Structure 1
């Protein structure tokens, strides 16, 4: 995968003749494969990225809090740099609170989790493992994004989350396994489908009872340490639909369906909006990819100029 250093890209562009830049951009438009032209990032309804264009041209800038030299934003303080005014960064209001649990070995500068905190600051909290909250008391309104044998789809959240109510199956820890799937009553397929439809219908006006969703920010090889933590046991697990990643730091040896953290958050919210809230999606969360889409374009342009496209 290609490592993105926006400042080096900017310096490289400045050192080249204008003609070379023009030819490169023209060739990008002419020779771009159809898969890129039809890319989902091309269809996003985004706020103006002019502020990022200006910041790219001016190069690295200081973080207003720690004074570190950064490009676009400080990934340790979760704030834009001085050349990127806060008022020019879009703010996204989310229907749920999001906790991101970050593996301690995950490189701050390479993680996309910070994008969520920058763009939805009121609804996103980032924790560095092992310093994470206790979720047991509120597990009836929390879900964890992670594929596994007990994972359910987004559209089935209302049906499965009702089993986690305080007075539900696992209300008494003395009488119940921590895994709520073990003691659920056997339900005939037709009856389960009927219950699912009734539950979705009754929750249509008030969401699903879900108030918080947890994401793990880690390479897949590092995930096991976090997912096996006792504080995350017994939570409803959600598996996302299969989608291809656009991340330029794709993990070697892993399928293209392994999404970056910000992609996973975005796609979950789009599915939740349509399949659980039952509302038309009109780009409400597209700005979560404000930084991601801009950096993606930078990488594509750099590959083009380097003859790698």
Structure 2
């Protein structure tokens, strides 16, 4: 998990890859690209790590919409766009960090409905502008994605029979093996650095709520991080959870309906690619 970006607790080294079915497509991608367990082996072939990640992204075949539009928003972010609610909140050219809504004149992809309520439990010291988790609320709306910050209210109660937490542990199970899979109504993701995440996992409001872990994926996060590349950003963990959930309840079928959850994240990735192509280094990347 990155020290710089608030990232999601979706994969733990050693826990990932224990379920063959859910990870089949991504494993096929890795075999096709001849990847090893870590980014960087391709440097022997003259590839940068960013180039390896681009190949991985292309092979995933995400069905993203408005990619050119999002690129344009990032390239013209200094045009004075404002929030339709507060008109003065800080923003990144696409959405307001305070209100978590698109800015005036910005048309972002929308996912009209999620099969489960998504709860984002954010560490109080994690700034929104460095969190990818906020993308879910911007794209899916507050009806389906809601953020709460620690310390959590004592009045906040999660039903153990209808809720799960994305967090790898000795007792976590693959999503498809969750005993209460058919009765799930909500999922919780912890939005914190990997160092802070274990403490958040011990919140009393989460006691007794089943834990699930994801299959093995490689993060596309572009900043250098001191952790294995199976440590996903928060938005990646959310996305892969819903993909695996959809496959688990629909006999392995997934039609790309949640791919746009990654649209802002991939837009940022594409922006970094353009910077590097132009010889601009804004911060330390993976290469």
Q: TM-score, normalised by structure 2?
A: 0.73
Aligned residue for 1:44? 62
Matched, 1:64 2:80: no
- 2:105 is the counterpart of 1:83: yes
Structure 2 partner of 1:257 = 230
**Secondary structure of residue in 2 paired with 1:80:** coil
Larger Rg: 1
Q: Distance in 2 between matches of 1:2 and 1:217?
A: 12
1:114 matched to 2:134? The reply is yes
Match of 1:236 among 202, 210, 215: 210
Structure-2 change in CA distance of 1:56 and 1:41 (3 Å): farther
1:190 is matched with none
Residues 102 and 216 in structure 1, CA contact (< 8 A), matched pair in contact too: yes
User: Partners of 1:294 and 1:143 in 2: how far apart?
Assistant: 29
Unaligned runs of 5+ in 2: 6-46, 282-286
Equivalence for 1:165? none
1:307/1:73 Cα in 2 relative to 1: closer, same or farther (>3 Å)? closer
Q: Is the 8 A contact 2:119 2:186 kept in 1?
A: yes
| 8 Å Cα contact 2:62/2:259 also seen in 1 | yes
Deviation digits for residues 46-78 of structure 1, max 9, x if unmatched?
Answer: 112343233234323222222134221112210
Query: Aligned partners of 2:200, 2:82: CA distance in 1, in Å?
Result: 33
* 1:72–1:83 CA contact under 8 A, matched in 2: no
Does the 8 A contact of 2:96 with 2:103 survive in 1?
yes
What is the distance in 1 between the residues matched to 2:120 and 2:58? Answer: 24
1:290 aligns with 2:263: yes
How far off is 1:229 after superposition? 1.4
Residues of 2 paired with 1:211 and 1:46: CA distance?
26
Name the structure where helix makes up a greater proportion of residues: 1
Give the match for residue 37 of structure 2.
none
- Secondary structure of 2:161's aligned partner: helix
Shift of 1:282: 1.1
1:73 alignment counterpart: 95
Query: Cα gap change, 1:55/1:131 in structure 2, threshold over 3 Å: closer, same or farther?
Result: same
Which of structures 1 and 2 has the larger relative contact order (alpha carbons within 8 angstroms, sep 6+)?
2
Where 2:160 maps in the other structure, the secondary structure is: helix
Structure-1 separation of matches of 2:256 and 2:58: 12
Measured in 2, the distance between the counterparts of 1:307 and 1:46 equals 26
Contact 1:92 / 1:287 at 8 angstroms: preserved in 2? no
- The alpha carbon displacement at 1:83 in A equals 3.4
Distance verdict in 2 for CA 1:271–1:40, change over 3 Å: farther
| Pairwise CA distance, 1:228 | 1.1
Q: In the alignment, which residue of structure 1 is the partner of 2:17?
A: none
Matches within 5 A, 1:139-288: 139-157=160-178, 160-161=179-180, 208-249=182-223, 252-288=225-261
Give me the whole-angstrom Cα distance separating, in 2, the residues matched to 1:55 and 1:35: 23
Cα distance in 2, alignment partners of residues 281 and 237 from structure 1: 23
Q: Is the 8 A contact 1:2 1:249 kept in 2?
A: no
